[in-house]
A and B are shown apart, each in its own frame.
Chain A
Amino acid sequence: MRYALYPGCTVQSEQYEYEMSVREVLPKLGIQLAELDGAGCCGYLSYRVSSPIGWKYLTARNLALAEALSLDILTLCNNCHLSFSRVANDMEKDDELRKTLSEALTIEGLEYNGRTRALHILEVLHDQIGRAKIAEKIEKPLKGLNLAAHPGCYLFRPTDLKRPDNGKEPKKLDELIRTLGAESSDYPEKLECCGSTISRVQEKASLLMAGSKLKAIKEHGFDGLVTICPHCFRIFDGRQLEMQNLFSDDSIELPVFYYTQLLGLSMGIPPEKLGLELNNSPVEGLIERVLKN
């Protein structure tokens, strides 16, 4: 299986631990990664706010670049994935939109005919590679750990569009965590939004949202939080100190991982190759426990 890797603006400009761990683990699971030369922003966090057509053009342009390579796109970001799904769907159903975007794409010598689709890494891991094949590669199972899954909103919403996981009861991330030998119990706040999209606009509200969720996860007795979205990770992993100050509660301290980092660790890949020293949250204790297994 070969995909055009589209890390997305946020991952490739700052969430290096995500990209590093993806590039380490996927080839070892039989996935070849091609570069998407000439790719740009999908528009979701930029033009969608001011110009819907500008946003859709930016997304369609990346789909067209991948179609020229006859490859599907592999996205790491929940926002980018929603953007690709929405625009591919709209172009298929709306002739006028398809015509407008196709004309613009022609200027760069590109075209998009709906042959390429975008998959989120969750789908590639769970549905394409599959849990059985992942299980075969586990050398250091995450025994004795109970990890909270945080899939992030767009992996299962909106339900009027095909999403990587089920809208009523998303469970693929939980299942993938269990495949590594850890527990991943369900918890009432699992589907709650992290608040990161408003962190630059309504900072306090976003920290209250992420902080309450971390507090709840801690109270449920989880050993850590696992996510697969760069925006969720950024607030949960990077801003615990601010949450502690806001809540006047030092106990808001919890190891936060990208799923691909834990997958790599359990496959026996050294922590430094998975960018584990770049996590801001206190992950050392948990890594040591895994390495001893």
Chain B
Amino acid sequence: MTGKTEDREVEFISLMLQRAVSEMAAEVCEQCGKCASGCPVSRHMEDFNPRRIIAKVALGRIEELLKSEEIWTCTSCMKCKERCPENISPYDVILVLRNMAVRAGLPHPESYDQTIEAVVDNGVTQEPLTVRTRTGERHDRSSLSLNPIDKPQDMEEFKEVLLSIVEAGKPR
């Protein structure tokens, strides 16, 4: 991303932080654990626990969370959001934390950057691939009689508008 100035990022992050704590009402969480007991990831990974993430947010341990691997482990299935008796959504909290971590330039999975770069350059997350049949025969869109994919016609203009709105979305 272009034109990143540290002051603006700090301001942005504090704003997001405020939102994470107040809007998500993490302080009303009674730690009942309905989120964690239903979480399909927690079942297979002991170190992922949405209840603990909410506890950390309530205690202000945001920086620790931003630098942790756990915020990148949620599948976004939203089961926790539906199960919470207090209408807290660990899913939404995790999404805000991800936004904050990326904006603060903290380590995050490379695959997200690759996907974003692909969209900026080509308008889509991935160019059409060659695939194989079960017997090993190679095919692409044209050999399967599929037309070329739709894409932004003027890539330069697409890129310019996209990057400018991403930039405008940051607080000044």
The yes or no answer to A31 lying at the interface (CB within 8 A) is: no
Q: Is the CB–CB distance between B149 and A13 below 8 Å?
A: yes
Q: Given the complex of chains A and B, what is the CA–CA distance between A278 and B139 in angstroms?
A: 9
Selected from A38, A154, A195, A279, the residue in CB contact (under 8 A) with B150 is A38
Interface centre among B1, B43, B78, B102, by most chain A C-beta atoms within 10 angstroms, is B78
Q: Which of A92-143 contact B (CB under 8 A)?
A: 100-101, 104, 107-108
Q: Which of A52-95 contact B (CB under 8 A)?
A: 52-54, 57-58
Q: Given the complex of chains A and B, what is the CA–CA distance between A96 and B99 in angstroms?
A: 20
Selected from A16, A49, A196, the residue in CB contact (under 8 A) with B102 is A49
Selected from B109, B119, B161, the residue in CB contact (under 8 A) with A104 is B161
Which of A39-47, A174-182, A214-222, A257-265 participates in binding chain B?
A39-47
Q: Is the CB–CB distance between A53 and B75 below 8 Å?
A: no
Q: Which of A8-23 contact B (CB under 8 A)?
A: 9-10, 12-14, 16, 19-20, 23
Q: Given the complex of chains A and B, what is the CA–CA distance between A200 and B76 in angstroms?
A: 14
Count the A-B residue pairs with Cβ separation under 8 angstroms: how many? 179
The yes or no answer to A208 lying at the interface (CB within 8 A) is: yes
Q: Given the complex of chains A and B, what is the CA–CA distance between A53 and B76 in angstroms?
A: 19
Question: Which residues of A lie under 8 Å from residue B166 when comparing CB positions?
Answer: 47, 50-51, 53-54
Number of A interface residues in the complex (CB < 8 A): 61
Selected from B40, B98, B127, B158, the residue in CB contact (under 8 A) with A49 is B98
Given the contacts A16-B144, A45-B125, A53-B166, A193 and B75 also touching, CB distance less than 8 Å:
yes
Q: Given the complex of chains A and B, what is the CA–CA distance between A12 and B148 in angstroms?
A: 9
Q: Is the CB–CB distance between A205 and B44 below 8 Å?
A: yes
Of chain B, the residue at the smallest CB distance from A160 is: B81
Q: Is the CB–CB distance between A208 and B78 below 8 Å?
A: no
Q: Which of B129-151 contact A (CB under 8 A)?
A: 129, 131, 133-135, 137, 139, 141, 144, 146-147, 149-151
Selected A-B contacts with CB under 8 Å, 25 pairs: A12-B141, A12-B149, A14-B129, A14-B131, A16-B146, A23-B146, A37-B153, A40-B124, A41-B123, A48-B95, A49-B98, A49-B112, A50-B166, A54-B162, A57-B162, A157-B82, A193-B75, A195-B41, A197-B75, A197-B76, A198-B75, A205-B41, A208-B44, A278-B131, A280-B134
Given contact pairs A39-B152, A46-B116, a sample of 20 additional A-B residue pairs in the complex whose CB atoms are under 8 Å apart: A10-B125, A16-B139, A19-B146, A38-B151, A40-B123, A40-B158, A49-B95, A49-B108, A50-B112, A54-B162, A100-B165, A108-B157, A108-B158, A157-B78, A157-B81, A157-B82, A158-B82, A193-B79, A198-B72, A209-B43
Lowest 5 A-B CB distances belong to which pairs? Answer: A53-B169, A193-B77, A40-B123, A54-B166, A9-B125
